[in-house]
Amino acid sequence: MTTEPTASTHAVVESETAAGPAAQPEGPGAAGRSTGTARWPKLSMLVRFQSVLGLVLVLLGGIAFSPRHNGAILFLTADNLANIVRSVSETGIIAVGMTFVIIAGGIDLSVGAVLGLAGILVARLMVDGGWGTAAAIVAVLLAGLFFGLVQGAVSTTMRIQAFVVTLAGLQLARGLARIVADDKFINISYGHGPGLAPPSFAVLGNRVFGGVLPVSALVFLAVGVLASVLLNTTRFGRHVFAVGGNERAARLSGINVRGIKIATFAICGLTAAMSGILDAGQLNFANPNSGTGYELAAIAAVVIGGTSLFGGEGTVVGTLAGALLLGSLNNILQLNNVNANLQLVVTATIIVAAAALQNVASRRRAP
């Protein structure tokens, strides 16, 4: 979201490979802010993994308050746990992409609309275009990546805040989805021949391992692991933290700030498209209005996960736990027949508590 002085920009673009990592302090969250960490090890650890801790608490609460049937704890049944992961898989995958954007200091409001657009595109390609499953999925993933890339490029090149660019992106993606869909829902029926989608696409709505684990949950967990590795072990990941932590310092140390920012938006667009494909696969149906409000659910998971909206701090593991925390909480409240409106109130409380905890820790760590 920070604007860049033009003079320094293109020098940075060229020097990316040369000086980059050596000049950088190592490790996530380190960019120029790590001085006080040692004095507050407990609090910083708590914040780093606040959502994991929160998730454990919610799970324990779930077990304690779960309705029981013939001695069996309904909350802990394999079906129920799988349902929880499934219910957060789409917003969770988006939240993983969103984590990159937010750590780099940006925000992406377009993801819910991109989800809708991706669902419509994949359905159109297969149902009307006669494309195969793999080709359609790859094409739509690339489209999502491209959409994010353009948003990132517009934001960095024209120096418009990411909030504004992606707000426009939201409208654009929703409009395109409705145009491509011709204002109609697209039913996906399987088979061979015109008007039918290849049966292999139906796999996305299936469950594996004895019909327990939904494929969408599996994809969610896989995306989480991959993203975590990317963010924590690669030079790209370190650069994302550096850009979000202190953009000026990052630029001076030779990091291609613009490139890194664009890449985070591309990753986010990719995850949104992936969710859209899963959405269509799970529902056998594409609706241009799918995913409305998902951007906010994703941001909530990221914030609960301990990622700072100011950038420079955060973990994918935290985001995963944040998403699962929300899902588990809703599940246990619902199993106990707690009023749906109260569920929203509880979620609100948790978001504020998580952000407050994050904030306190950041302030104490600052020199």
Partner 1 sequence: MPTHPRLRPFVLAIGLVLLAAGCSNGASATTDAAAHPGALAKNCGAGKKFKIGFAQANNAEPYRQRVNADLLKAAKAYPEFDVTIADGQGDSNKQISDVSNFQTQQVDLLMISPFEAQPLTPAVTQVYKKGIPVIELDRQTADDQYTAFVGGDNEAIGKAAGDYVAKTVLPDGGDVAILQGLISTTPAIQRTIGFQDGVKSNPKIKVIAVQPADWLPDKAQTVFDTMLRAFPSIKAVYANNDLMANGAYLALKGQNKVGQVAIIGTDGLPDPAGGAQAVLNGQMTATFVYPTGAEDALKIAKQVLVDCATSVTRNTVVDTTLITKENAKAVIEKAGS
Task: Please tell me whether residue 340 binds partner 1 under the rule CB under 8 A.
Answer: yes
Residue number with CB closer to partner 1 (256 or 331): 331
Q: How far is the CB of 138 from partner 1 (least distance, A)?
A: 24
Q: Among residues 6 and 341, whose Cβ is nearest to partner 1? A: 341
Q: Which of residues 286-315 bind partner 1 (CB under 8 A)?
A: 287, 292-293
CA distances from 158 to 33, 70, 78, 153, 246 (A): 29, 63, 50, 8, 20
User: Residue 77: which residues within 8 A CB-CB, separation 6 or more?
Assistant: none
Q: CA–CA separation, 225 vs 179, rounded Å?
A: 35
Give 3 or 339: the residue with its C-beta nearer to partner 1. 339
Which listed range, 97-105, 143-151, 279-287, 359-367, lies at the site for partner 1 (CB under 8 A)? 279-287
Element (H, E) at 190: none
**Which x/- pattern, by CB under 8 A, does the window 204-223 give for partner 1?**
-x------------------
The answer to whether the CB of 92 falls within 8 A of the CB of 323 is yes
CB of 91 to partner 1, least distance (A): 9
CA dihedral 159, 165, 168, 173 (to 10 degrees): 130
40 binds partner 1 (CB under 8 A): no
CB of 54 to partner 1, least distance (A): 20
Q: Minimum distance from CB of 155 to partner 1 (Å)?
A: 29
Class of residue 72 by CB neighbours under 10 A (exposed 0-12, middle 13-18, buried 19+): exposed
Contact 114, 271 (CB under 8 A): no
16, 252 in Cβ contact below 8 A? no
The binding track of 169-188 with respect to partner 1, each residue x by CB under 8 A or -, is: --------------xxx-x-
Nearer to partner 1, 308 or 331 (CB): 331
d(CA 118, CA 101): 20
By CB under 8 A, name the binding residues for partner 1: 67, 69, 74, 77, 79-80, 83, 86-87, 90, 183-185, 187, 205, 279, 282-285, 287, 292-293, 330-331, 334-335, 337, 340-341
